[in-house]
Structure 1
Amino acid sequence: MRNTFAKIVWWLLPTTLLACAGDPPPAKQTSSTILYMDKPAASWYEATPIGNGRLGGMVYGGVTRDTIRTNDDTFWSGEPRDLQRPGTYKVLPEIRKLLLEEKNQEAQNVIDANLLGPWNQNYMPLADILLEWPGDGNVSGYRRELDLNRGVVTITYAQNGINYKRELFASYPDQAIVMNISTDKKNAIEFTAGLGSQIESGVKVEDGQIVIDGQAPYHTDPNYTGVHPPVYKEGKGMRFEGRLLVKQEGGSLTPSGDKLHVKDATSATLAFMAATSFNGFDKDPYTNGKDEKAICRKYLTSLEAKKYSDLYKAHVADYASLFGRVSIDLGESAEAALPINRRIADYKPSMDPALTALYFQFGRYLLISASRPGSQPANLQGIWNQDMQPAWSANWTINCNAEINYWPAEITNLSECHAPMFDMIRETSVDGAKTAKNLYNSRGWMAHHNLDIWRTTWMVGGTGLYSLFQVGGAWLCQHIWEHYLFTLDEDFLKDHYDLLKNASLFYLDNIQTDRDGYLVTSPSESFENGFVKPDGETGWACIGSAQDMQIIRALFENTMKAADILNDGAFKEDVSKAYAKLAPMKISPRTGQLQEWNDDWEPSNPASGQVGHGWAFAVGNQITLRGTPELAQAFRKTIDYRRPGYSYNSGSWTGTFPAVYWARFEEPDSVQRVIDRHFDLALSPNLTCEFMKSWQIDGNLGITTAITEMLLQSHAGEISLLPALPAKYPAGSVTGLRVRGGYEVDIFWKDGKLTKAVIKADRTKKDEVIPVRYGGIVKAVKLAKGETVILDGSLE
């Protein structure tokens, strides 16, 4: 009995011992914050992601061999490149003339022959932490758990009568991946640690550390151009260094070639730190790079004197200060006790309501892990990549994917995680101003559809069907305005107003007059979609696609509002004149649908899943259910015809857009149908979103947004409570969500009906009267600055 009690006490030690006096109590563990596997990962898609914004790791959790695959968010192939071709704009009059003459095929041939540039570079894998354990692998009670409340992975199992435990996390305060190993038996820990990399590198042991250094390729091609080996050049390419510090209590630590061997230890702590020579998007990382070795030594000096308990407490306090702002309960079910891979494999639409809440919180976890102040923004795979040629280069695709990554930032109370996006916009505007001048003969700045870490904005290769997306920069600017609407931070707006102003200036110079006298983009394309004309001709090159015009209209509106706030009346007047002449959205007299093109054409592939002209409904607010009912119903007819929620596997953006569409149409069954398809078809065993056999993180983050919007909306000028609550969640709550205007909102419901809403005016600048909607009830609620109002189901 005594031995059993001792084992129970030991099993509690990692949480109870570390919860020192004065620490806040740990958040309650629920089915919306815990996911686990009952076996080690057999592949990348079963591993558990950890990250601190800059460093990412995928934890496999093996018992004889373990791997943690790491990434540094700045580690890319290539170097700054000048892709500008001065004078290219001289071909535009020919293209524009052909488009006005409806010679679209000829126009796109000229575009592809004259305007395209080289491909992006690739985001690189960094180093693998490699651990070897003695034994035959026969273990019992294996569990690899990710606790979203703490941002900690815990691996536990029993072997030969000994209970083993590993805790892992990626620390933002200490800029390291940390692992602690413990058992319930003294002097029972033995393992060998090493480092490796797919990158050309060398490994050595020094002073109780394993050190790896190497150099990224000078050039890599995207995976879709064919398999080409990376190109290495002496004196070219980004350098990196990684250090694995190993400290043990008891036993011995000895070098074994380029590895370290721990034997007979009572506990051990490993800390991996890494740095690259990246010194900004505009500096050669080899000849003008940072000293990656000095940066690593700085991390090491700060970290090596600290105890594991200090590292743990600093990490949990930092991480929980973000994650703990929002809680969600959508109901419990028996399935929640299953390993996450089983929950996904066995998922049925009528089952496991708690999986939706878990997916929501997992999305928030991924954004915290991949995007922190000072880091790069989350890319197509967030921060995690195992391939030398990752899908779509793991870049920032700004014709939707990069933006979708940040849809949850403000509404799920992670405003700080939005900061890297704003840094990228600022950096992009530098080359974007050159592209505006050289390709369009315009002032201001712009960007097309792809960015890498070197922030080049010229059109990439292939075809203009996707690379001619001249509103990428304008869409990025939507994030600046949204951040202001949620935070009301006028200092932020002042600091970023020039980006809005100069993005608008580009369109003031560049938009053209169409046959009806309206201002439009020319040349244009519509979100990688082709069209069919009434005479059967197919193509993609056009003028004034609806999505282009929606995004430019939003940019102009936001810029004019910012100009009002910041007293720039002269520029507002310039914008307002052009704004009045922008081509309006059109409803097809033939089909009653919202037109995707300036002309009434059919999509060549209606089932593609990409419905670009829903931008004004799902991203902006030029189309709203009650504010513009005619346009809303025309778009409803469009998606009834196009059925985007059924395309591909409803993964990535192919699920996120329709899920948000249906949330804003306030049709809960349709929202849930998309979520069900997403869970059934698009998820890997570790809960990451798979798209075309690759993790694409905007699927996770976009569905997180859709789940939020079925519970709370504020885009239409009112706070709307439970606008699209599916019947699957009859009772529940969500707390800590944010809405535009500087408010935080908590919502509680039972039997499918609102029971209580709490609205806190914690960021407002003055007393306000805000309309609050629940179903058909709308109430004007008076909120004094700093006040909290509690409403019941009748909004009283």
Structure 2
Amino acid sequence: MENTFIKVIRYLLPVALLSCAGGQPLAKNLSSTILYMDQPAASWYEATPIGNGRLGGMVYGGVTKDTIRTNDDTFWSGEPRDLQRPGAYKCLPEIRKLLLGEKNLEAQELIDKHMLGPWNQNYMPLADILLEWPGDGNVSGYRRELDLNRGVVTITYTQNGVNYKRELFASYPDQALVMNISADKKNAVEFIAGLGSQINNQTKVEGDQIVINGQAPWHTDPNYTGVHPPVYKEGKGMRFEGRLLVKQEGGTISAQDDKLHVKDAASATITFVAATSFNGFDKDPAVNGRDEKAICKKYLSSLETKKYPDLYKAHLADYSSLFGRVSIDLGESPESNLPINQRIKNYKPDMDPALTALYFQFGRYLLISASRPGSQPANLQGIWNQDMQPAWSANWTINCNAEINYWPAEITNLSECHFPMFDMIRETAVDGARTAKNLYNSRGWVAHHNLDIWRTTWMVGGTGLYSLFQVGGAWLCQHIWDHYLFTLDEDFLRDHYDLLKSASIFYLDNLQTDRDGYLVTSPSESFENGYIKPNGEKGWACIGSAQDMQIVRALFENTMKSAEILNDGAFKEEVAKAYAKLPPMKISPRTGQLQEWNDDWEPSNPASGQVGHGWAFAVGNQITLRGTPELAQAFRKTIEYRRPGYSYNSGSWTGSFPAVYWARFEEPDSVQRVIDRHFDLALSPNLTCEFMKSWQIDGNLGITTAITEMLLQSHAGEISLLPALPAKYPTGSVTGLRARGGYEVDIFWKDGVLTKAVIKADRTKRDEIIPVRYAGLVKSVKLAKGKIIVLDSSLE
């Protein structure tokens, strides 16, 4: 890039007038918004995901038999459980004494003996929509396409001289999965529709509807405890109902046992609605549940009179209002025209730049599809699951995975999709207050490693190596502050300040004094990572791991800033006193690396990919490239040694963290190497991220974030343009990204050089002077409230 800074052209125009500069892009790059396959799905990992936040489906697109596997985000095994053990905190003094006395192995034995609890319940599959089509499957021109611009799956093929077309989408306004079936020959549409489920169920036909009812197991074990059959109990477990409404134009419809047969129709529309008896995390869904049957009938009462064009129009208006805020172009290549499974199979690092842009937009599509206001937050698999015992229960793992899911929410202009996370935090704080009292004898609230829909916060089973993650709730609170930084919504901050305050109160009560007089977490562990002491002893229990203290420090900082904004000066001062006693991060005098533990210990498995003490660099901003250069370089030495981007297949967090690390180090080649490895090893044929033989959606969403941070960063008190742009994308653009401080940013570049950036101060509360960085130089720019500036490169 040329080492010349941009000149500033100031436009004193209202933001709304500059529609060509972002928001709703005027043109779409189809290579970044279309993915397709030229054959039906042979497995779940080739199927196409659709979702409306609550209701999800995986579309197989078969031509003789077709399946759409559905999920409802509230459909879980189990029921509310009181896992609290009053007085359990009495074991802590001995554990803490042992840790201070460096008897770590004895301490961790007591942790595993006295502090662990039962496992989470499992997220359940719902119902399968089963379709049978006439013919022998001999078709030509098959195409199953997902159009990210519209949120629509289109299946087309030719059979016996007839061109068939199916369109499918998940409608948020109508809370339904919708399929329209048509043909270019009159009266050529014929199919048989049915419903099935892995859950114990009954199905029947009611007029033009197929109804399925079932009940989830009362208990299921996680998959890693062995394959145990689900436990059903009479009168226990969550109920569900699904209704498939079939309406045809022309022809006939008739019942065949528990199925419907449409014949000789010009077209047909199928709408699927579902509901469960879930009535909140604290209510028994079998005894005090909602009436799932009445809810389904209510959904359908508004659908029965709507034609397909009306359903489509409402869906498109809603979906595009979110997805259409951002466009991206990273270049074209011949590979863009290939089926997505072939693009993935044939991927080479120097090929297919458009796949990176497509992956970015696919990540945004997945977040829109899995997380909408009023829904559950995206879980480990988003909203999609086919297994009775899904990997890691498809729960919310809050020692990184659940949080990574929401990294792209603000920066990629999907702020509304963040709200299910905030709802979960508030619900979690209820049981979290009980756990704080019973397990730690503290006020406030705490959460550990795992959450399920019942929002229990006690440590799960197994071992404290992972279940003892005392800062899970504190990390969740980072999302509240981040949302405020991007939106400057003081009403939101006021509504959620009590969660920050109460989480901080827990640490004010619970932090312990270490040998050097600092306040630290005790007991502690470091991101499921073990250590080796100089004497050769291996363990995991410790005090004040670096990641713990980074997260607590960030919570205190965010709470103090919130208290100042909201005029709670007394509490700010109370937090400030404890904040002053938090330990500083340490650099090992032996290795020059950032220390992971309070003592200068070695990781027992340095290649594990778990480098938790990069939290302050990749999530927070206590370590920044220029603000704390010594700490940043110490952490760089850490990841050079540990090489987290080469652990496993760079899927899930093993790709997300390293890619963001290198983006914030502003080293584009290193970012691209992680992305290349992720694309080469971690992608299933349908573009979802595979990790340890299951879809882990934080891989999709974390790499989406890393791609964004190649192009725009705002965590270090400045707006940084193209901070880590790989040479693979010499010419391109991105519009509609968000920066902290209430700004929307569009960026255009050619031959690796910035040509234009548009910054809109559409959410700022007052005029601000902010530093804007590009190509190693910084320009202080005045951003007037409600106005825009255009930064235009000097091309002399």
Query: Conserved in 2, the CA contact under 8 Å of 1:777 and 1:794?
Result: no
Distance 1:25 1:705 in 2: 20
Give CA-to-partner distance per residue, 1:623-677, whole Å, 9 cap, x none.
0000000000000000000000110000010000000000000000000000000
Which residue of 2 is the match for residue 678 of structure 1?
678
Which residue of 1 is the match for residue 557 of structure 2?
557
Distance 1:240 1:584 in 2: 52
Distance 2:652 2:506 in 1: 31
Which residue of 1 is the match for residue 505 of structure 2?
505
Query: What residue identity is the alignment partner of 1:440?
Result: Y
Query: SS in structure 1 opposite 2:690?
Result: coil
Identify unmatched segments of 5+ residues in structure 1.
1-23
Which residue of 2 is the match for residue 145 of structure 1?
145
Query: What residue identity is the alignment partner of 1:280?
Result: G
Distance 1:29 1:131 in 2: 34
State the 1:793 CA deviation. Answer: 2.4
What is the CA RMSD across the aligned residues, in angstroms?
1.0
Distance 2:452 2:777 in 1: 47
Distance 1:28 1:507 in 2: 49
Runs of 4+ that moved beyond 4 A: 24-27
Cα 1:493/1:775, change in 2 over 3 Å = same
Which residue of 2 is the match for residue 12 of structure 1?
none
Distance 1:251 1:370 in 2: 37
Question: Aligned pair 1:69/2:34, yes or no?
Answer: no
Query: Conserved in 2, the CA contact under 8 Å of 1:625 and 1:665?
Result: yes
Distance 1:486 1:356 in 2: 25
Query: Conserved in 2, the CA contact under 8 Å of 1:64 and 1:136?
Result: yes
Which residue of 2 is the match for residue 127 of structure 1?
127
Which residue of 2 is the match for residue 631 of structure 1?
631
Structure-to-structure mapping, 1:443-462, within 5 angstroms: 443-462=443-462
State the 1:489 CA deviation. Answer: 0.2
Cα 1:264/1:25, change in 2 over 3 Å = farther
Distance 1:518 1:174 in 2: 55
Which residue of 2 is the match for residue 664 of structure 1?
664
Distance 2:469 2:671 in 1: 29
Which residue of 1 is the match for residue 643 of structure 2?
643
Query: Conserved in 1, the CA contact under 8 Å of 2:435 and 2:445?
Result: yes
Give CA-to-partner distance per residue, 1:127-183, whole Å, 9 cap, x none.
000000010000000000000000000000000000000000000000000000000
State the 1:775 CA deviation. Answer: 1.8
Give CA-to-partner distance per residue, 1:585-628, whole Å, 9 cap, x none.
00000000000000000000000001000000000000000000
Which residue of 2 is the match for residue 367 of structure 1?
367
Structure-to-structure mapping, 1:292-441, within 5 angstroms: 292-441=292-441
Question: Aligned pair 1:771/2:771, yes or no?
Answer: yes
Give CA-to-partner distance per residue, 1:166-214, whole Å, 9 cap, x none.
0000000000000000000000111000000000000000020000001
Which residue of 1 is the match for residue 51 of structure 2?
51
Distance 1:783 1:242 in 2: 52
Query: What residue identity is the alignment partner of 1:223?
Result: N
Query: Conserved in 1, the CA contact under 8 Å of 2:25 and 2:735?
Result: no
Question: Aligned pair 1:595/2:595, yes or no?
Answer: yes
Question: Aligned pair 1:464/2:464, yes or no?
Answer: yes
Query: SS in structure 2 opposite 1:409?
Result: helix
Which residue of 1 is the match for residue 4 of structure 2?
none
Distance 1:696 1:784 in 2: 42
Which residue of 1 is the match for residue 111 of structure 2?
111
Query: Conserved in 2, the CA contact under 8 Å of 1:344 and 1:680?
Result: yes
Give CA-to-partner distance per residue, 1:1-22, whole Å, 9 cap, x none.
xxxxxxxxxxxxxxxxxxxxxx
Which residue of 1 is the match for residue 491 of structure 2?
491
Query: SS in structure 1 opposite 2:31?
Result: coil
Query: Conserved in 2, the CA contact under 8 Å of 1:27 and 1:149?
Result: no
Query: Conserved in 1, the CA contact under 8 Å of 2:608 and 2:647?
Result: yes
Structure-to-structure mapping, 1:252-291, within 5 angstroms: 252-291=252-291
Q: Between the two structures, name the one with larger relative contact order (CA 8 Å, sep ≥ 6).
A: 2
Query: What residue identity is the alignment partner of 2:207?
Result: D
Distance 2:214 2:647 in 1: 42
Distance 2:795 2:781 in 1: 9
Distance 2:189 2:293 in 1: 31
State the 1:777 CA deviation. Answer: 1.4
Question: Aligned pair 1:182/2:182, yes or no?
Answer: yes
Query: What residue identity is the alignment partner of 2:659?
Result: A
Which residue of 1 is the match for residue 535 of structure 2?
535
Query: Conserved in 1, the CA contact under 8 Å of 2:122 and 2:395?
Result: yes
Query: SS in structure 2 opposite 1:144?
Result: strand
Cα 1:562/1:515, change in 2 over 3 Å = same
Distance 1:352 1:124 in 2: 37
Query: Conserved in 2, the CA contact under 8 Å of 1:71 and 1:383?
Result: yes
Question: Aligned pair 1:725/2:718, yes or no?
Answer: no
Query: Conserved in 1, the CA contact under 8 Å of 2:25 and 2:324?
Result: no
TM-score of the two chains, using structure 2 as the length reference: 0.97
Which residue of 2 is the match for residue 574 of structure 1?
574
Distance 1:88 1:122 in 2: 26
Query: Conserved in 1, the CA contact under 8 Å of 2:120 and 2:222?
Result: yes
State the 1:28 CA deviation. Answer: 3.3
Query: Conserved in 1, the CA contact under 8 Å of 2:25 and 2:325?
Result: no
Query: Conserved in 2, the CA contact under 8 Å of 1:87 and 1:438?
Result: yes
Query: SS in structure 1 opposite 2:654?
Result: helix
Cα 1:350/1:255, change in 2 over 3 Å = same
TM-score of the two chains, using structure 1 as the length reference: 0.97
Query: Conserved in 1, the CA contact under 8 Å of 2:29 and 2:328?
Result: no
Query: Conserved in 2, the CA contact under 8 Å of 1:122 and 1:395?
Result: yes
Query: Conserved in 2, the CA contact under 8 Å of 1:549 and 1:582?
Result: yes
Query: What residue identity is the alignment partner of 1:298?
Result: K
Cα 1:27/1:219, change in 2 over 3 Å = farther
Give CA-to-partner distance per residue, 1:466-519, whole Å, 9 cap, x none.
000000000000000000000000000000000000000000000000000001
Distance 2:549 2:698 in 1: 24
Distance 1:106 1:305 in 2: 68
Which residue of 2 is the match for residue 82 of structure 1?
82
Identify unmatched segments of 5+ residues in structure 2.
1-23
Distance 1:538 1:248 in 2: 67
Distance 1:439 1:260 in 2: 55
Which residue of 2 is the match for residue 211 of structure 1?
211
Distance 1:554 1:26 in 2: 40
Distance 2:373 2:449 in 1: 24
Query: Conserved in 2, the CA contact under 8 Å of 1:501 and 1:559?
Result: yes
Distance 1:795 1:659 in 2: 31
Query: Conserved in 2, the CA contact under 8 Å of 1:608 and 1:644?
Result: yes
Query: What residue identity is the alignment partner of 1:370?
Result: A
Distance 1:28 1:722 in 2: 21
Query: SS in structure 2 opposite 1:607?
Result: coil
Which residue of 1 is the match for residue 6 of structure 2?
none
State the 1:26 CA deviation. Answer: 9.4
Question: Aligned pair 1:93/2:98, yes or no?
Answer: no
Query: Conserved in 2, the CA contact under 8 Å of 1:465 and 1:525?
Result: yes
Give CA-to-partner distance per residue, 1:386-425, whole Å, 9 cap, x none.
0000000000000000000000000000000000000000
Distance 2:377 2:130 in 1: 28
Query: What residue identity is the alignment partner of 2:261?
Result: H
State the 1:792 CA deviation. Answer: 1.5
Distance 2:601 2:32 in 1: 45
Query: SS in structure 2 opposite 1:503?
Result: helix
Query: SS in structure 2 opposite 1:260?
Result: strand
Question: Aligned pair 1:745/2:745, yes or no?
Answer: yes
Cα 1:592/1:47, change in 2 over 3 Å = same
Query: Conserved in 2, the CA contact under 8 Å of 1:27 and 1:324?
Result: no
Distance 2:299 2:140 in 1: 37
Cα 1:547/1:135, change in 2 over 3 Å = same
Give CA-to-partner distance per residue, 1:257-305, whole Å, 9 cap, x none.
0000000000000000000000000000010000000000000001110
